[in-house]
Amino acid sequence: MELVHTVSWMKQIGGKALREDRVLGLVPTMGALHEGHLSLVREAKRCCSPVVVSIFVNPKQFGPSEDFSKYPRALGADRVALEQLGVDYLFAPPAEEIYPQGFRTSVFVDGLSDVLEGRSRPGHFRGVATVVLKLFEIVQPRRAFFGRKDAQQVRIIKQMVADLDLGTDIVVRPIVREPDGLALSSRNAYLKPEGRRAATVLHRALAAASREIASGELKAGHLLSMIQRTIATEPLVALDYAEIVDVDTLEPVMALRKNCYVLLAARVGGTRLIDNALVEQTGDAFRVTI
């Protein structure tokens, strides 16, 4: 695996792959890699060559009171894990390579960026879209791999790719969970043991909603109050929002129809966690994937 620190060298590698008509796969990450990231890398390895993983803790997607400075950084361990998976290039630029002095441009995906996570984290998705566009311009991937845990992020990136004719296929992979249901996240490392145990309530709430849907409940209001009641059983967990939204518009729905996300965000101590379930209509029935 070659370690690449500069934009100019990464552009040369990406440009060469493009000219040779190779299917370059990019897995963009902020490092502190866990099994969720590694599942994306495995999928990229299965269908792409070469595979590039980027590690860049993007300052522009953190608010002033968020955890940018303490966000976990583990380049040494990440490098070993990626090496073992046969990744071809690790792109780990310093901040000044991505945002040189005088950098002014940002990307804002209207209508999708200020709701849900965007309401709680103003500016977050502007930072995400800006860095992902930069990464796509630099690496020039044919395919890029993202996890469904960040459902709103994926929706915004897909919209940006369509609007700007970027031509990159966005591959979305399932949420990877601990055996007790907690969705993997680099931020889980912040949780103290009691918070870690309490955090499983997010998954329990989604599983309870899934059971209700399987027994025929379609009303969003009913499903959401059941989720709120379940989460309220854990005093260490403060719900930020629970919403059932259309997968395309991210607008709340009154009752399940077409395809929806059940989206949750909560604070466990000082740690903000998100989770979701995908609800898909198949004929008259709804299938829930947690």
124 is catalytic: no
Q: Which stretch binds ligand PAF (CB under 6 A): 22-30, 41-49, 81-89, 159-167?
A: 22-30
Stretch (H or E) spanning 260: strand 260-268
| Residue labelled with tokens 């993997």 | 184
Neighbours of 222 (CB within 10 A): 13
d(CA 288, CA 290): 6
Residue selected from 14, 28, 141, 195 as contacting ligand PAF according to rule CB under 6 A: 28
Nearer to ligand PAF, 153 or 188 (CB): 153
Q: Which stretch binds ligand PAF (CB under 6 A): 26-34, 89-97, 176-184, 233-241?
A: 26-34
Nearer to ligand PAF, 61 or 271 (CB): 61
Nearer to ligand PAF, 51 or 213 (CB): 51
**CA trace torsion 18, 22, 23, 28 (10° rounding):** -60
List the interface residues with ligand PAF, window 210-229 (CB under 6 A): none
Which candidate in 34, 37, 124, 203 is catalytic?
37
| Binding of ligand PAF by 131 (CB under 6 A) | yes
d(CA 182, CA 117): 19
Write the burial class of residue 105 (CB in 10 Å: 0-12 exposed, 13-18 middle, 19+ buried).
exposed
d(CA 10, CA 121): 31
| Binding of ligand PAF by 150 (CB under 6 A) | yes
Are 154 and 172 within 8 A, CB to CB? yes
Q: Which stretch binds ligand PAF (CB under 6 A): 7-15, 28-36, 206-214, 236-244?
A: 28-36
Residue selected from 128, 263, 265, 288 as contacting ligand PAF according to rule CB under 6 A: 128
**Total residues belonging to the chain:** 290
Question: CB within 8 A of 242, min separation 6: which ones?
Answer: 205, 224, 227, 228, 231, 262, 263, 264
Q: How far is the CB of 232 from ligand PAF (least distance, A)?
A: 29
Q: How far is the CB of 188 from ligand PAF (least distance, A)?
A: 14
Q: How far is the CB of 69 from ligand PAF (least distance, A)?
A: 16
Residue selected from 132, 160, 205, 256 as contacting ligand PAF according to rule CB under 6 A: 132
Catalog residues that contact ligand PAF under the rule CB under 6 A: 28-30, 58, 61, 128, 131-132, 150, 153
Catalytic residues: 37
